[in-house]
Chain A
Amino acid sequence: MIDFSVNGKQHQVDAEPMMPLLWVLRDMLGLTGSKYGCGMAQCGACTVHIDGQPVRACVMPISAVAGKKVTTIEGLSKDGNHPIQKAWIEHNVPQCGYCQSGQIMSAVALLEQNASPSDEDIDNYMQGNICRCGTYTRIKAAIKSVSSGPDLAKNVGDDA
């Protein structure tokens, strides 16, 4: 049995120690907001936060998550009111939307570390998140629109 919390809720799961967090979230806890895109830390679709740090859930064994706090896209805010989520709608960022949970979780982590990133900072930080639909220019615009905006750090996880 492995104990950890997801979006502020305590969970106990009976999973193989090597099972990646992504499949525990998706198949055992029914939290399908974190997506499978590659299974090898190449695409970022599975990005979640563990103790506030962005992590690719597809390569994170569940045993390494014991005792930790996980935030997924579902727990980022109540009612989608995180400034990044609002900016994503404001800029009509998503096309198919499949990569966007991961994009948003990465963008939130970026802005927590660097409240006003340059274009290059954004490129570097978001490099691990593929969008096959090609929404990159809008992602960048959305990140920039909130970059020197509200204090993001205090929004994250408050509602979790």
Chain B
Amino acid sequence: MNHKIENVSRRHFLKVSGIGAGSFVLGSALPIAKPVWAEQSKLAVELNLFVSINTDNSVNIVCHRSEMGQGVRTSIPQVVADELCAKWDLVSVVQGLANAEYGSQNTDGSRSIRRFYTTLRQMGAAARAMLEQAAADLWKVDVSSVYADESYIHHKNSNRKVSFGYIAEAASKLTPPTNEELTFKSKKDFKLIGKPITGIDLPNIVTGNADFGQDIKMDSMLYASIERSKVLGAKVKSFNADAAKSVNGVVATFKMPDQPTPVVFHPMNGVAVIATNTWSAMQGRKVLDIEWELGANAEHNSADYVTELKSRIVNKGKEIRAEGDAYADLEKAKQTHSATYSIPYLIHAPMEPPAATAVFKDGKCEIWACTQTPQSTQANVARALGIEADDVIVNVTLLGGGFGRKSKPDFSVEAAILAKEMQRPVKVVWSREDDIQQGFYHAVSVQHFAAGMDENNLVSSWLQRTAFPSISWTFTGTVDEPQVGELSLGFGDVPFNIKNLSCETHKATGHIRIGWMRSVSNIQHAFAQGSFVDELAAKANISTYQMWQQLLGENRLVNPKTESFDYQNYGESLDVFPIDIKRLKHVLNDVIEKSGADGETSANEGWGISVHRSFVTYCAVATKVKVEENKVTVLEMHSSIDAGTIVNPDRVRSQQEGSMIFGLSLALLGEISVKDGAVEQSNYHDYQVLRMSQCPKIETYIVESDAPPGGVGEPGTPPVAASLANAIFHASGKRIRDLPIKNHMSV
């Protein structure tokens, strides 16, 4: 079983046109320059875009999505191999190059399984049907009398069997079946789907043999480290090339092309130092002595910005969704409550900083990168070099974490520009400081909530406002308010059963690059909403659970679409993936029951709960903390997740653990501050992330469901911050509305 990252050859793609374009091809990579680690694969017969069978009866299955710890290089082959009836031990995974034929390869939005589950099953079933037909033809029997199992085709009425490897070439000459002709396994016959199969890259990871973007090495390769502008848009006026070149190992310096506006994915302004090793390149940067022309963004200060947004948010904003008359009801309500929340800028800080290697030769470019988005990398590299996208090959390495950072292709474009300039392979290595100071940030945000209750303490009006610089600002330079895509993330889709509702936005423009980070705007919206529910419960003197029950109301399907709010539902139809109150309530009940969050606690201890639907998945979290002498200790975190059909329960569990820790980390510690346009933090000492001693006991409960698969990588994050802040309130009476917690108590 070959587990090394291995990419499908370019020739392979030229011959393939969708499902079933069978032909005898070599599956080996034909790069312009071969990376040291590349391996040859065996002679293979291709049955379709995802499946080829080797003469030794082993199977290659393409993984077209990027592996960043979510287990997709295991779960994709699991689905295909199950329908194919292949023996798991004979399966190798082949990493897909950038290729539009696969459909989207942008590995974000928690949608690898959600979007491709059916397609992958079709690929497996189609290849199986062709193998069965070929065997039936060989034996001159009816195809209904043969079946596939464990990489063999068997004949029911005799003891005859033939291996996939033997029959594959004949199968590849058959006309592939149409989707309508395919037959699928029933759930009870699954041998791989739904099973906790061990990650196929694990043996390489634990021995140090896994290949990440930072690990690429080629003959005659140079290493580049780039000193980029600390203030977005600042321009290089002058720099000392000679000083940099006097550093041992430094080969050249290169002023990066001017970054246009809107900034999009264009590399930032700066100077690259190119050397024979990473260390020398980094040393060369230190003596560049760049003089910068700063520009307008140098006036940005995040603390002032939050103050400004807070002063704006208490006023009526632009209405995006409304029902009844929230303002009139607030006027006449028996009691009202309001609160304002904020979350600072945040950065992904994946363990592996971005890195990309490029080779430019004869007008063509080949990239190896830890990218979440090979197709966008291909398009952006082509544009930057002025060549056709077809002349750019993008190989995807393993990603040392992504969290959304690596779906921006800027670092690959940098490598491509430098490789062309140097006429040698160049690896661009981002330092941790680069990663923290020149990233695409989760937007600083402010939320304001108000509610009115009647004489029975029933909530009769609900007002919510949000303000943050939009991701669209990065792409336009002009958009200055939250956009519908962002408002569809836990804001406009508020699922409450309240007669008088108003959802409003306020203006906010960008000053540093704004991007998406694990669960995106759900972070701030779920924090504010989940906290405010807890606050209202306290006000009404009922449990938080009772308040959730009241607000969620009767079991029903919610459609938040209005004329002014074109709810996106994570790109899915509401018919297939409705907002189902029953499922929301179920995960909440489940987590409370299993965690004991409704039980008694010792002095100074408290439970907090929250629930949130995101990426069409339902997730509730219960957190228990202790607060003593203004120090919070997180004792336990429990979650219940209903993500519909599950492919690999162990990876669902590990993604839950990871996304909850990600949420806990940002709630306790996460803070990027900007002064005079520049990020103040620089490394893990001042942009702290959760460490082992801060990590509580974690329990995950997976709801059994036959619903279509929902997202898994992100839904664990949003409910965490509110459950934590609520737990702190119940333990100490202290309500924290401005994250991170570390600014209020020691953590």
Contacts and interface: CB of A to CB of B under 8 A. Distances in A.
Interface of A: 16, 19-20, 23, 26-28, 30-40, 42-43, 45, 72-74, 76-77, 79-80, 85, 88-89, 92, 94-101, 104, 122-124, 126-127, 129-140
Contacts of B36: 30
B249 to A, nearest CB: 7
A26 B654 contact: no
Complex A-B, nearest 7 residue pairs according to Cβ-Cβ distance, in ascending order:
A33-B208, A98-B400, A134-B661, A95-B69, A96-B69, A73-B208, A97-B205
B215 interface: yes
Nearest to B697: A137
B432 interface: yes
B83 to A, nearest CB: 24
B650 A80 contact: no
Contacts of A73: 206-208
Interface residues of B, number: 67
A112 to B, nearest CB: 18
B684 A130 contact: yes
Contact of B207 (A19, A42, A85): A85
A127 B689 contact: no
B697 A135 contact: no
B658 A104 contact: no
Interface in B229-259: 248-249
A23 B214 CA distance: 12
Given A16-B249, A32-B208, A133-B401, A97 B69 contact: yes
A30 B215 CA distance: 9
B502 to A, nearest CB: 37
Per DSSP, chain A at the interface is loop
Given A37-B352, A99-B351, A94 B691 contact: no
Contacts of A94: 69, 199, 201-202, 205-206
B217 interface: yes
B202 A45 contact: no
B657 A138 contact: yes
Contacts of B214: 32, 35-36
B14 interface: no
Given A19-B279, A23-B277, A127 B691 contact: yes
A85 B202 CA distance: 10
Given A39-B431, A85-B207, A123-B692, A20 B351 contact: no
B208 A101 contact: yes
A88 B208 CA distance: 13
B209 interface: yes
Interface string B276-290: 111110100000000
22 contacts: A19-B280, A26-B215, A32-B217, A33-B207, A35-B351, A37-B352, A38-B684, A42-B685, A43-B351, A43-B432, A76-B207, A80-B206, A80-B207, A88-B202, A94-B201, A99-B351, A101-B208, A127-B692, A127-B693, A131-B351, A134-B665, A136-B661
A89 B202 contact: yes
Contacts of A122: 692
A130 B353 CA distance: 14
B398 interface: yes
A26 B477 CA distance: 40
A47 B605 CA distance: 37
A129 B690 CA distance: 10
B684 A42 contact: yes
A57 B685 CA distance: 18
A30 B217 contact: yes
A101 B211 CA distance: 12
Interface of B: 36, 67-71, 196, 198-199, 201-203, 205-212, 214-215, 217, 223, 248-249, 276-280, 282, 349-353, 398-403, 429, 431-432, 650, 654-655, 657-662, 665, 683-685, 689-693, 695, 697-698
A134 B658 contact: yes
A13 B67 CA distance: 35
B209 A137 contact: no
Contact of B198 (A19, A38, A40, A92): A92
Contact of B351 (A76, A96, A126): A96
A103 to B, nearest CB: 9
A98 B515 CA distance: 23
Given A42-B684, A96-B398, A130 B689 contact: yes
B259 to A, nearest CB: 25
B480 to A, nearest CB: 32
Nearest to B275: A27
A125 to B, nearest CB: 9
Contact of A134 (B217, B660, B684): B660
With a 10 A CB-CB cut-off, give which of B207, B280, B662 has the most chain A CB atoms: B207
A92 B86 CA distance: 23
B641 to A, nearest CB: 15
A101 B206 CA distance: 6
Contacts of A33: 207-209
Nearest to B693: A123
A100 B683 contact: no
Contacts of A131: 351, 692
Given A43-B351, A132-B401, A96 B68 contact: yes
A35 B249 CA distance: 21
Contacts of A104: 206
Contacts of B201: 94, 97
A73 B693 CA distance: 24
A121 B70 CA distance: 29
B206 A100 contact: yes
A89 B401 contact: no
A95 B632 CA distance: 28
A34 B659 CA distance: 25
Contact of B654 (A85, A92, A98): A92
Contacts of B223: 27
Given A38-B683, A96-B350, A137-B695, 9 more contacts: A23-B278, A42-B685, A80-B206, A92-B196, A95-B69, A122-B692, A123-B692, A124-B693, A134-B695
- Of the listed residues B198, B206, B207, the one surrounded by the most CB atoms of chain A closer than 10 A to its CB is B206
A26 B683 contact: no
B658 A133 contact: yes
B368 to A, nearest CB: 13
A55 B196 CA distance: 35
Contacts of B352: 35, 37, 96, 98
A124 B689 CA distance: 16
Contacts of A92: 196, 198-199, 202, 650, 654
